[in-house]
Amino acid sequence: MQDVLVIGAGLAGLTAARVLTRAGRRVRVLEAGAEVGGRVRSRRVEGFTLDAGFQVLFTAYPAVRRQLKLDALDLVPIPPAAVVRRGARADVLGDPIRDPGSLLSSLTTQVLPLPDKLRVAKLAAQLRTPPPHTLLNGPDESTQDYLRRQGFSEASLDRFFRPFFGGVFLRRDLSTSARLFRYYFRMLMDGSIAVPRAGMGQISAQLAEGLDVTLGVRVTRLTSHPGMVSVATTAGDLEAREVIVATDPNTAQTLLGADTARGSLSSAYLHYAMPHAIDPQSRLLLNAEAGWINNAHWISQAVPGRAPEGQHLLIATVLGRPEVPDTELDAQVRAELAVWYGEADARTLRTLHIERIEHAQYPQPAGYAAHLPGHATTLPGVLLASELTSMSGIQGAMESGEKAAAIVLGDLAGMSRPRGA
């Protein structure tokens, strides 16, 4: 009998298994899919490296710093700042968060009105000093209400905050909790945005190193008995002293019979190959206008190895669940790219892959944190490790895995670490 069975080889499950294995426990991870990583995976398509959607790593995430060997990931920073697209017009925005001074000196840009540039600098000064995790406390409201209360103009909301934080929280309406906004703003100040040279999947691969992971096995039912848990799977029944459920929230709800589902934020990603560079930008491209594209990135400009020699790779993010077939989605996104780059260049883009992700994150409106589930479940011997217990994202998933492992180990320091620390 295993000491611990971990269900799900996403970042939460891998982190839990890694901490427990390092502490000497006999741990086995069961993963329904054909590879590890859950939502953080990469694949090769015709020599291009495509991540599962457009994902980046905030290097300041505390759990990332504790659990990952960042040097071994060969991280490539995405240049700070962004390019704000308004149709054919492209304005480079200084780095409003890490280097607010750059906004003041970038006289060429007309993206943010001067008073708003000063407000960004003021916000950065306010958020720079408290311990980052304390930014998750205090009164809550939507990010939009918070920014308006700080005095930001609608122009700045539309041109920077909606598309940039729309890309982070997968909602352009800025309805996400202002606590999370403040925490992520601080993460952006304390570190960089980067991607592993060989793809985000390297993060999952590193966490999985040395772990006992069985792929292609789906857990269907959990039953608690005194001193052990029986685990029904598509490959037969197993037993363990303890079980950690680290699946997506909807599956966790089914396995635990608990109200863990929080809904899903969906998104779609269009990966385009290009035989020549039509845009030298390695910065994020933010669409300030209403349309299909929220943000886009010539990832091969920032990370040349992501495309074969002489080729280029563009990824365009469409938020939500587009209610049109792929061909129509592709046509709409191309039409917007044609406005950005001209008809002729847009025609030479080759559609490599269109990916729709049903559950990318869960919605986190103001006040969401009041309803977070804990790690304990109603099934004796069964714990939950999921971004659900903290915040939707890499930090939330990894810290949840750490905490579930700390509970198994009786590690008081790990158990009492605050959310976001």
Ligand X SMILES: Cc1cc2nc3c(=O)[nH]c(=O)nc-3n(C[C@H](O)[C@H](O)[C@H](O)COP(=O)(O)OP(=O)(O)OC[C@H]3O[C@@H](n4cnc5c(N)ncnc54)[C@H](O)[C@@H]3O)c2cc1C
Residues forming contacts to ligand X in the complex (CB under 6 A) are 7-13, 30-33, 38-40, 52-53, 55-56, 218-219, 246-248, 251, 267, 357, 360-361, 386-387, 392-394, 397
Helix, strand, or coil (residue 57):
strand
The CA distance from 384 to 407, in Å, is 11
Pairing verdict, β 2-7 and 236-245: parallel
CB of 33 to ligand X, least distance (A): 4
Q: Which is nearer to ligand X, 58 or 341 (CB)?
A: 58
Q: Which is nearer to ligand X, 33 or 113 (CB)?
A: 33
Q: Which is nearer to ligand X, 51 or 116 (CB)?
A: 51
The CA distance from 23 to 121, in Å, is 44
CB of 292 to ligand X, least distance (A): 16
The CA distance from 38 to 347, in Å, is 34
Q: Which is nearer to ligand X, 276 or 371 (CB)?
A: 371
Q: In which region does residue 319 sit, left (phi positive, over 0), alpha (psi from -120 to 50) or beta (all else)?
A: beta
CB of 250 to ligand X, least distance (A): 9
CB of 57 to ligand X, least distance (A): 7
The residues, any chain, with a CB within 8 Å of residue 314's CB and separated by 6 or more, are 271, 272, 274, 296, 297, 298, 299, 300, 337, 349
CB of 148 to ligand X, least distance (A): 25
Is the Cβ–Cβ distance between 287 and 294 less than 8 Å? Answer: yes
Q: Which is nearer to ligand X, 109 or 233 (CB)?
A: 233
The CA distance from 236 to 69, in Å, is 36
Q: Which is nearer to ligand X, 106 or 287 (CB)?
A: 287
Q: Which is nearer to ligand X, 157 or 391 (CB)?
A: 391
CB of 109 to ligand X, least distance (A): 25
Pairing verdict, β 312-319 and 350-361: unpaired
CB of 196 to ligand X, least distance (A): 13
CB of 114 to ligand X, least distance (A): 30
Q: Which is nearer to ligand X, 116 or 387 (CB)?
A: 387
Give the side-chain half-sphere CA count within 13 A for 32.
15
Q: Which is nearer to ligand X, 144 or 267 (CB)?
A: 267
Q: Which residues does residue 382 pair with via DSSP β-bridges, in sequence order? A: 243
CB of 228 to ligand X, least distance (A): 19
The CA distance from 116 to 244, in Å, is 46
Angle CA 94–319–70, to nearest 5: 60
Q: Which is nearer to ligand X, 49 or 106 (CB)?
A: 49
* Residue owning tokens 């909301």: 157
CB of 389 to ligand X, least distance (A): 9
CA-derived radius of gyration, the chain = 22
> Using CB atoms within 10 A of its CB, is residue 357 exposed (0-12), middle (13-18) or buried (19+)?
middle
Is the Cβ–Cβ distance between 123 and 160 less than 8 Å? Answer: no
Is the Cβ–Cβ distance between 297 and 285 less than 8 Å? Answer: yes
